[in-house]
């Protein structure tokens, strides 16, 4: 088989694969087929001496490889996020540091919710449910999900402390950019909601006993 015949076969396979790409719906198989198509067109262009096609596929092939790597990395990070808790350490460059004094109210029930917080040091209490929060705790995230956008609890400092604040505007930007953070946040908020439901159920169960 001479070079001309090989070039024609490579071109024919490349054309078939190009048509196949228009029928594909899932992105990773589409990228794989696209990479294979680039390879066959490179063989064809090299043997036939068609430099525009050669140059085009020399440019497109690395782009397809890079996009495939991005998608595989995205899937890997998403799977990891589905098995992990919310980690806000990587968010610290986007957060604002605040020093808090004893007795200071960080936010009150009914306030407009504009940020979520990571407690760095000190102790804080959610007044309405008398729940203490220590360093490492994330608080204030549920305000983002409130239909009216207001706080449902009040957070008060019990001692000198420090928090990092992340505005909801920046949060929404990062949420859509980082699937690992997005999934972890959904896990955190779901956990909070189930905890609140369990607390309310416990309070309702205790009421008949208290009345008796």
Structure confidence by residue, pLDDT tens digits, 31-86:
899 999 999 999 999 999 899 999 999 999 999 999 888 777 756 654 554 444 45
pTM for this prediction: 0.50
Q: What is the mean pLDDT of residues 1-26?
A: 85
pLDDT of residue 84: 44
How many whole angstroms separate alpha carbon 27 and alpha carbon 144? 32
Q: Which residue has the higher pLDDT, 26 or 208?
A: 26
Residue 105, CA atoms < 13 Å, CB-side half-sphere: 10
pLDDT of residue 136: 81
pLDDT of residue 123: 92
Q: Which helix (H) or strand (E) holds 131?
A: strand 131-133
Report CA 109 to chain centroid distance, whole Å.
Answer: 28
Q: Which of 156, 150, 110 is nearest to 132 (CA)?
A: 156
Beta bridge partner(s), residue 121: 162
Phi and psi at residue 136, to the nearest 5°: 100, -15
What number does CATH give the domain 89-211?
Answer: 2.60.120.10
Q: Edge-to-edge, what's the strand order for the sheet holding 124-126? A: 105-107, 155-157, 124-126, 131-133
pLDDT of residue 70: 79
What tens digit of pLDDT does each residue of 141-152 get? 777 777 788 898
Q: What is the largest CA-CA distance in the chain?
A: 98
E strand segments, 30-104? 96-100
pLDDT at residue 94 tops 50: yes
Q: Which residue has the higher pLDDT, 75 or 139?
A: 139
What tens digit of pLDDT does each residue of 156-210 get? 999 999 998 888 888 777 777 766 666 666 776 677 677 767 777 776 777 765 5
First to last CA, the chain: 96
């Amino acid at each position: 088989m001479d070079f001309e015949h090989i070039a024609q076969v490579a071109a024919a396979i490349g054309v078939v694969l190009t048509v196949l790409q228009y029928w594909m719906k899932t992105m990773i198989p589409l990228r794989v087929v696209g990479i294979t198509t680039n390879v066959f067109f490179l063989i064809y262009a090299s043997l036939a001496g068609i430099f525009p096609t050669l140059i085009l596929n020399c440019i497109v092939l690395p782009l397809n490889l890079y996009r495939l790597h991005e998608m595989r990395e995205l899937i890997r990070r998403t799977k990891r996020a589905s098995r992990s808790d919310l980690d806000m350490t990587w968010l610290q460059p986007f957060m604002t540091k605040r020093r808090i004094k004893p007795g200071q109210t960080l936010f009150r029930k009914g306030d407009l919710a504009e940020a979520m917080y990571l407690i760095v040091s000190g102790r804080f209490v959610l007044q309405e449910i008398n729940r203490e929060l220590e360093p490492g705790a994330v608080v204030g995230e549920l305000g983002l999900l409130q239909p009216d956008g207001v706080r449902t609890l009040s957070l008060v400092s019990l001692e000198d402390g420090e928090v990092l604040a992340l505005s909801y505007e920046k949060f929404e930007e990062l949420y859509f950019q980082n699937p690992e953070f997005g999934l972890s946040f959904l896990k955190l908020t779901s956990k909070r909601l189930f905890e609140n439901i369990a607390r309310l159920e416990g309070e309702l169960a205790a009421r008949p006993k208290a009345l008796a």
